Structure 1
Amino acid sequence: MSAHNHQLHSKLTIGGLLITLGIIYGDIGTSPLYVMKAIIGLHHIINPDIILGGLSCIFWTLTLQTTLKYVIITLSADNHGEGGIFALYALVKRTKIKWLIVPAIVGGSALLADGIITPPISVSSAVEGIRTFYPSINTVPIVIAILVILFTIQQFGTKLVGKFFAPMMLVWFSMLGILGIIQIGGNLSVFRAINPYYAYELLRIHPDGFYVLGFVFLCTTGAEALYSDMGHCGRKNIRISWIFVKATLVLNYFGQGAYLIKHQGDTLFRLGGKNANPFYLVMESWFQPIGIVIATMAAVIASQALISGSFTLINEAMRLSFWPKVKIKYPTDLKGQLYIPSINWILLLG
């Protein structure tokens, strides 16, 4: 079964590309929901140089960190078709260098931390859109309800949800690209941001100085998932689908940038109140409710990707004796599908 399954995904197929969209790109795909908002801040005056600098940092982070480091280099290192930081460690362990255990454990912990922060950040950024129409609504209970449901259905396996993921993510990325193109149409000069000079300028002029890099880095969270889910999706499918994903992400960021440059001298707060988010501001008002629903679904899928990633990670960690032996369940007959109750509830609690 497993050999057949592995063959299935290592070939390049339309189905494989779609599955890859659904499983892998949730986290990195939902970052346009919060990155630009974080870089600009609610009350800073919108300054074209800061926007271009932010876009430049995002573009080069996606190019160097995600494309070069993960998609091109790291995907070439697999342990019997499996990826992930502990698979990498298993490969390096043969060299008998003792201290390498430290970066492996730090990396694994960082991924688990990602599994705790991404679900609430993405889901709440998406649901926050509701406040555009109903400013008085308290979105916290909605976010908590979505998260509780998400973690509760884990025990039934993700086969059901998986079928629904791929088309949903295709809709999401297409929406990102189209929204971006509509905005860029009016302002092609936003492509100047590809010049890395603006990235350097940003650090010089941004009111938060060097800390702004922390916001920029949000655009690549989830890149590790590209590698850790290699066993599910196969290297070729990941590499080819990344071309489409990266294009739509860049278009969306640049579209948000073009919109903001049109409103230079204003602040986000003045453009849309205390929940202003450039991601929603670029939409026509009739489309916003649809956008909010699609964004919320994409955020749930992003969270799912990290939860599955955390299970895989702990499973690898147990094999290497980095983690105490805990109960693992296999809810479906799908290769690589597992469910670890203890981790599930720890993540939910976190």
Structure 2
Amino acid sequence: MKKLNKKWSAAGLLIAMGIVYGDIGTSPLYVMKGLIAGNHGEINEDFLIGSVSLIFWTITLLTTVKYVMIALNADNKGEGGIFSLYALVRPMGKFLIIPAIIGGAALLADGVLTPAVTVTSAIEGLRTLPIFTEVFGYSQDIIVIITLVILLILFSFQRFGTDTVGKLFGPIMFLWFTFLLVSGFANLLQDLSVLRALNPVYGIKLLFSPDNHLGLFILGNVFLATTGAEALYSDLGHVGKSNIHLSWPYVKISLIINYFGQVAYLLSTDIHQFKEMNPFFQMIADPLMPLAVLFATLAAIIASQALITGSFTLVSEAMRLKILPRLHVLYPGKSRNQQYIPVVNFLLWVTTSIVVIVFQSSTKMEAAYGLSITVTMLMTTFLLHFYLKTRAKAFFAIAVPLFFAGIEIVFLLSSLDKFVHGGYVAVLIALAIIMIMYIWYKGSQITDGLVEHLPVKNYLSQLDHLRNDRSLPILQTNVVYLTKYMEADEIDAPILYSILDKNPKRAHVYWFVNVSVTDEPFTKQYEIDTLGTDYVVLVKLHLGFRVSQEVNVYLRQIVAELMATGEIKKQVQTYSISENREVGDFRFVLLNEELSHAGELSNWSRFIMQTKFAIRQITVTPAKWFGLEFSEVLVERTPLVIGEYRKPNLERID
């Protein structure tokens, strides 16, 4: 996908409509409905005016001020989202990994409920069509079946990419927001006194009014109007801040007018005539009802698609930041930005489908929805504080995060009752993801700190002798090792042990490659050190956290450039289908660490390491991760001794 973060464009505005606003744009389907249901259907003028006032100021403060005006400026070379923000502030403290993990896990967990609640809410709109109720009545079973079929098609379609249909997302969402604006405005004209809700006093009064049966917990339902704000920040890299800044006013006006229109409709209607209360659909004129249901369904599908794509991006970033294990990533579209992670897609489909089957109705889903995303917003605010510390005055860096943290803590506390109404599903999923992230991150820290490092220059004479030792067969013209550590000429000691001690490996050139993931998203750079030889090459690849680590591809370019400069000799091939081929063959050697029983571990550390290695067994192999699945690869096992080495203390007896 073409990057549009430099300046705005008409195409960029449409893309923003289709990608960025799906979640927040479908909120009118269920927010007012949820508020009415939460108050047991007992509503009056004060309740409705206070509710829409709370909605307006929640969207204004959290979405407009925090995310559109502040967070979008905290971009990492045009990329947004909690992991991009973490990459920016990571040098300021190792502990910052904690809010990044918690926020990222909560955002992924939220991805389970969002497609379920949006699609179900849209499909429930079918009940407003007389022909539907005549055939199926008000049975929830048919709604569940239709929702499950749509979700199955949606998740199955991911493997083919969205290049073709993706071009339609923007225009469809533009029509959707226009529909929200027009339908809301038509009903708002019935009672313009609703506009007094712009005064925040009405919202504050409602929090303590006897008309509000939930008290402060009503904010848990109000918060659903702004759940898409975090997705707005995460999708920054797809469209750029200029396109979001320019498109957001139209989107916000459309949303607010629609919410106000729903309230105006409710104030002028006897709601007791309806078996089910959803003002979004019921304020639509009967001739336009089929169009409303169609638009709502398409918008819900597009919102779900945006969330699925966002989940793929989030997981991909976490993998490259070494917060999650390596998973198999495919690129079904023409753009590298369009990723497909089969295991993530499958897990999202299964869990989302289970949510639909268990909760059945959108009302029950709304009662559970939103708890985890408040946690993500709070973690983003915490990281924003550290970002602002280096880029704003001290007062601003403290006061602004404190202000938003206060609001979000209130929303979090007001959402706690959602836990017993199904919010535990997202919480348990988030906790499981947090545990996996922590184990992988902590386990990687343990292993990286244990492996000994040796300077290659101390072994140059042995490597020179080995490559010229004609008593040994040539393993390959070029032997390549991937080393986790490379500082100056020091690399992982097991690599030199593999070359010299463990079945000596004769080659013409020895390559030692280290991949360093940068805090910038799209870096593609490399450093070279030949140590004054033409048979040892140390390569340090600097790759952005959104760049695929295809070592084989990058190495071809590096070899060609080194031969062109004369830093290594040309490797003329006697036999080849290509004329004048000057690059020899390659063998990649991967060292697979195995937990040794020779070390002493605490029970917790042993659990961490054993779990990490167990997870590794079901994830993508290093060969696939580094783009070596079609290369010659040799995998060797190397023992990892953790803790103090236990001497066997054998006693000789005669």
Give the TM-score normalised by the residue count of structure 2: 0.51
Does 2:87 align with 1:90?
A: yes
- Report deviation, 1:145: 0.3
Does 2:219 align with 1:223?
A: no
Does 2:68 align with 1:65?
A: no
Report which stretch shifted further, 317-326 or 243-252: 317-326
**In 2, distance between residues paired with 1:24 and 1:10?**
17
Deviation string, structure 1 residues 198-243 (Cα, Å, up to 9, x no partner): 1111211211112111110000111111111111101100111001
Name the structure 2 match of 1:176.
180
Name the structure 1 match of 2:107.
111
**In 2, distance between residues paired with 1:271 and 1:26?**
32
Q: Specify the code of the residue in structure 2 equivalent to 1:36.
A: M
**In 1, distance between residues paired with 2:121 and 2:193?**
28
Question: 5 Å matches for 1:18-57?
Answer: 18-41=14-37, 43-57=40-54
Deviation string, structure 1 residues 276-320 (Cα, Å, up to 9, x no partner): 211001101111111101100000000011000100100111111
Structure 1 regions of 5+ residues with no counterpart? none
Distance 1:45 1:237, change over 3 A: same
**In 2, distance between residues paired with 1:108 and 1:211?**
25
Does 2:141 align with 1:141?
A: no
Structure 2 regions of 5+ residues with no counterpart? 352-654
Counterpart pick for 2:264 among 258, 261, 272 = 258
- Report deviation, 1:161: 2.1
Name the structure 2 match of 1:289.
290
Does 2:130 align with 1:129?
A: no
Name the structure 2 match of 1:312.
313
1:19–1:166 contact (8 Å) kept in structure 2: yes
Does 2:204 align with 1:203?
A: no
**In 2, distance between residues paired with 1:14 and 1:182?**
28
Q: Specify the code of the residue in structure 1 equivalent to 2:42.
A: I
**In 2, distance between residues paired with 1:192 and 1:220?**
21
**In 2, distance between residues paired with 1:148 and 1:182?**
36
**In 1, distance between residues paired with 2:117 and 2:20?**
18
Deviation string, structure 1 residues 3-51 (Cα, Å, up to 9, x no partner): xx33x45321111100110011011000000000111127422211111
Q: Specify the code of the residue in structure 2 equivalent to 1:68.
A: V
Name the structure 1 match of 2:273.
271
- Report deviation, 1:335: 4.1
Does 2:164 align with 1:160?
A: yes
**In 2, distance between residues paired with 1:226 and 1:136?**
35
Name the structure 1 match of 2:242.
236
- Identity among equivalent positions (%) equals 52
- Report deviation, 1:94: 1.3
Q: Specify the code of the residue in structure 1 equivalent to 2:188.
A: I
**In 1, distance between residues paired with 2:203 and 2:6?**
37
**In 2, distance between residues paired with 1:271 and 1:29?**
28
Residue-pair matches, total: 340
Q: Specify the code of the residue in structure 2 equivalent to 1:178.
A: V
Q: As a proportion of its length, which structure holds more helix? A: 1
Distance 1:55 1:320, change over 3 A: same
Deviation string, structure 1 residues 316-336 (Cα, Å, up to 9, x no partner): 111111111100111112241
Deviation string, structure 1 residues 111-140 (Cα, Å, up to 9, x no partner): 112211110101110100112231345211
1:10–1:237 contact (8 Å) kept in structure 2: no
Name the structure 1 match of 2:340.
339
**In 2, distance between residues paired with 1:226 and 1:295?**
20
**In 1, distance between residues paired with 2:79 and 2:297?**
30
**In 2, distance between residues paired with 1:140 and 1:233?**
34
**In 1, distance between residues paired with 2:71 and 2:143?**
39
Q: As a proportion of its length, which structure holds more strand? A: 2
Question: Over aligned residues, Cα RMSD in angstroms?
Answer: 1.3
**In 1, distance between residues paired with 2:194 and 2:207?**
19
Name the structure 2 match of 1:190.
194
Name the structure 1 match of 2:330.
329
2:190–2:268 contact (8 Å) kept in structure 1: no
**In 1, distance between residues paired with 2:97 and 2:54?**
31
SS at structure 2 position matched to 1:190: helix
**In 2, distance between residues paired with 1:10 and 1:143?**
39
**In 2, distance between residues paired with 1:183 and 1:337?**
40
Q: Specify the code of the residue in structure 2 equivalent to 1:340.
A: I
Q: Specify the code of the residue in structure 1 equivalent to 2:65.
A: L
Report which stretch shifted further, 161-170 or 106-115: 106-115
1:114–1:306 contact (8 Å) kept in structure 2: no
**In 1, distance between residues paired with 2:62 and 2:165?**
30
**In 1, distance between residues paired with 2:320 and 2:32?**
40
Does 2:7 align with 1:11?
A: yes
SS at structure 1 position matched to 2:41: coil
SS at structure 2 position matched to 1:301: helix
Report which stretch shifted further, 101-110 or 13-22: 101-110
Larger RCO: 1 or 2 (CA < 8 Å, sep 6+): 1
SS at structure 1 position matched to 2:287: coil
